[in-house]
Amino acid sequence: YKSTTSTDTPLAAMAEAFEELSRSLQSKDLRLAPFCSACALVSVLFSFLGFAFKFAEAEYVSKVHSLLEASKTYDTLNRIIDHDVEHNIVRTPGSHARNLRRVRQGLGLIQAIFEEFLTTNDCSLRTAASTAYSQVCAPYHTWTVRKAVFAGMYALPTRDQLIAKLKETDFSVGMEMRRYIEASRPIINYIDDLYISRDIKLDW
Ligand code: 1PZ
């Protein structure tokens, strides 16, 4: 038995952090620092994925870290987009608006992997991750990155190994993944709207 509000597993901590962010959305602009803290929790997942995803972890962590640094200057997500629009660097490699787009794609990928993982009770992690990655991220990645990701999929743990590493059970893993899926949805939509509302397309 696991309590629904515990944060003693990595998934529960992630779910809790995104639920908290979603609640804060109702009243005001999303603040950058708490957003980065929630995104940083996601990186514990990488430690369960094997050596092949070290490069993905480094990519993700450096972008979250860069946004955390930016939070010393810019209070909200809106502020960094305004700044980068003003300086015409929204899509410039390394800009905050670009890093935010990449981190958002990471959040969307995890959401999609969890959704695939929960479609059936015997879907392997590799199948879930391959399907989700193909749909959500692959179209925006270079050929080299896509090759590396698909090669790395073969080194992923099995479904049962992942559940054990996450310190979940067959039952609790579904509950915690669903919590993350639901809680991250409004955050992801909010981030997409930051771009769309400024007439910035999301095809990159
Ligand atoms: C339990 C879940 C198992 C999932 C396993 C699947 C992981 C797929 C990881 C995909 C990694 C792609 C890494 C490289 C991406 C780079 O091309 C871009 C470059 O951005 P630029 O510098 O040009 O602006 N970097 C990113 O998109 C940064 C974020 C990538 C990592 C997202 C992973 C999300 C978490 C996966 C689960 C832990």
Contact 81, 194 (CB under 8 A): yes
Mutation test of ligand 1: which of 100, 102, 160 has the most ligand atoms closer than 8 Å to its C-beta?
Answer: 102
- Between CA 182 and CA 160 the distance in angstroms is 23
Domains of the chain listed by start with CATH number: 10-196 (1.10.3520.10)
How many residues would you count in the chain?
204
Average pLDDT for consecutive 10-residue bins of the chain (204 residues)?
67 97 89 97 89 89 98 97 98 98 98 95 92 96 95 93 96 97 98 98 96
What is the distance between the alpha carbons of residues 144 and 133, in angstroms, rounded to a whole number? 14
Q: Is 106 in the pocket of ligand 1 (CB under 6 A)?
A: yes
Q: Does ligand 1 lie within 6 Å of residue 136's CB atom?
A: no
Closest ligand 1 atom to the C-alpha of 48?
1
Q: For residue 123, what are its two tokens?
A: 């879907």
Per-residue DSSP letter, 27: T
Provide the sign of the torsion angle of the four alpha carbons 74, 190, 9, 52, taken in this order: negative
Question: 21-66, pLDDT tens digit by residue?
Answer: 999 998 779 999 999 999 999 998 998 887 788 889 999 999 999 9
In the reported structure, the alpha carbon of residue 144 is separated from the centroid of ligand 1 by a whole-number distance in angstroms of: 13
Q: Tell whether ipTM is more than 0.90.
A: yes
* pLDDT in the model for residue 132: 97
